[in-house]
Amino acid sequence: MNTNNTMNNIAKGKNNKKQTKQLMLWIGALVVGAALGMLGIAWLNGLMNFIATVYTRLFQLLAVPTIALAVMTTLASLGNQADTGKIFRHAITYTLLTTFAAAAVGLVLYNVIAPGNLPAALVQSGMADVPQNLGETSYYDHILGVIPNNIVKPFADGNVLSILMLAAAVGIALAKMPQNDKKEVVVKGLFGLQDLLFMLIHGLIWALPLGIVAFAAQLSAQFSAGIVMASLGKYVAVILGGNVIQFFIVLPLFLLARGINPFRTLGRMMPAVLMALFTKSSAATLPVTMQTAEERMGVSSKVSRFVLPICTTINMNGCAAFILVTSLFLMQNGGMELPLTTMILWLFISVLSAVGNAGVPMGCYFLTLSLMSGVNAPIGIMGIILPIYTIIDMIETAENVWSDSCVCAMVDKDMKR
């Protein structure tokens, strides 16, 4: 028995050293990339943009089958077990609690900092930058677009919610099928495809330092060019302040309440958080999030492969806060009265909207634009926000993936109990 404990401790020590070296390598790549971007060399910036785009496309390529296979295999194997309902209930509960908390933090900060109105001329000038075709899309159309009418189209379009619905239907159907040779062949085939997918993910993560260099150089070059230096003052302070409070205070408090060390959890999930920061897509980051949760944080695969795909589509902490604060800001600039009851109503609207938002770059921006078009708010402000949305989107996505990781860790802890 002592021999086994000694061997386990040695294995854990080696694994911890490996993880530390890997994290240091990624941080080093981050520093090198930032330095390269600040050089301002045109051909080098072009090369970094190309590499960053390649990495983003590759992770997006793996994200769609990862979501589908993870949900199908988990439901197929757990569909007739009591654990499935428990995992789902715990995941939904923590998701709604953290999302409401994020929106509430944004609401409090909005009232404390109290952003003022922008000059009318500035609002009108922003109209030129607003994507006009997206302003015509209603939230009704957004929800209707989630319902698939073609089994291929959701995968071709990368519609995460549609894929989740299809995968859940297939998984539940497999779980309810009578046990026979045909069912066994299908389930084994799905598990085999999932193992193959994880081998591809391992390969991408092995080469990730090169991608981090490119992402960091790309961001550094944007800063140097002044693309993201413009500010709307108090509005930006509310958005970024809310994200920081949710990331470093609220979510760690959730973990502490469940007896989980937030510092250790964040350290182990840092690869996924960094990946989210650069890709600006929680869906594209999903392969890294799942691999990191299972191998670095030690989460059960039946929890991670069920909870994380769901969280990727509905657990949008940063998005809920952005929708609420931006909507209030636009309506205020449009001369609308904002009593406390209206603010609380929009808190619920923002949470429900965030739950239905796709985990793709600028998803919150487009959704807020649609909502504000429906209430005739001055959407020219969205054009003013657009140049600085790159930074907002990066921070929000990192917060969303960190929240996904927290929900996954809490559900795993509950199931182990």
Contact indicator for 57, 64 with CB cutoff of 8 Å:
no
Alpha-carbon distance 87 to 89, whole Å?
6
For residue 23, count other CB atoms closer than 10 A to its CB: 16
Task: Identify which of 325, 303, 401 has the alpha carbon closest to the alpha carbon of residue 86.
Answer: 303
Alpha-carbon distance 101 to 99, whole Å?
5
Alpha-carbon distance 223 to 217, whole Å?
10
Alpha-carbon distance 402 to 277, whole Å?
10
Alpha-carbon distance 86 to 98, whole Å?
18
Alpha-carbon distance 265 to 406, whole Å?
8
- Region of 268 please: left (phi>0), alpha (psi -120 to 50) or beta: alpha
Q: Quick one: CATH architecture of 17-416?
A: Orthogonal Bundle (1.10)
pTM of the predicted model, to two decimals? Answer: 0.77
Alpha-carbon distance 95 to 100, whole Å?
9
Per-run averaged pLDDT (10 residues), the chain, 417 residues: 53 63 79 86 87 82 80 72 79 94 96 86 65 54 72 77 82 85 89 86 81 80 51 82 96 96 93 85 85 91 88 87 94 91 93 72 77 82 80 89 96 90
Distances in whole angstroms, Cα of residue 79 to Cα of each of 189, 387, 396:
17, 46, 33
Alpha-carbon distance 166 to 36, whole Å?
43
Q: Tokens standing for 82?
A: 């009591």
Cα 390–Cα 392–Cα 394 angle in degrees, nearest 5: 70
In 213-367, which ranges are E strands?
none
Contact indicator for 402, 392 with CB cutoff of 8 Å:
no
Contact indicator for 261, 142 with CB cutoff of 8 Å:
no
Alpha-carbon distance 69 to 57, whole Å?
19
In this predicted structure, what is the pLDDT of residue 135? 46
Alpha-carbon distance 175 to 75, whole Å?
7
How is 304-333 classified by DSSP, letter by letter?
HHHHHHHHHHH--HHHHHHHHHHHHHHHHH
Residue 140's identity, in one-letter code, is Y
Alpha-carbon distance 18 to 220, whole Å?
29
Alpha-carbon distance 270 to 280, whole Å?
15
Task: Identify which of 230, 212, 205, 263 has the alpha carbon closest to the alpha carbon of residue 392.
Answer: 230
Alpha-carbon distance 368 to 259, whole Å?
36
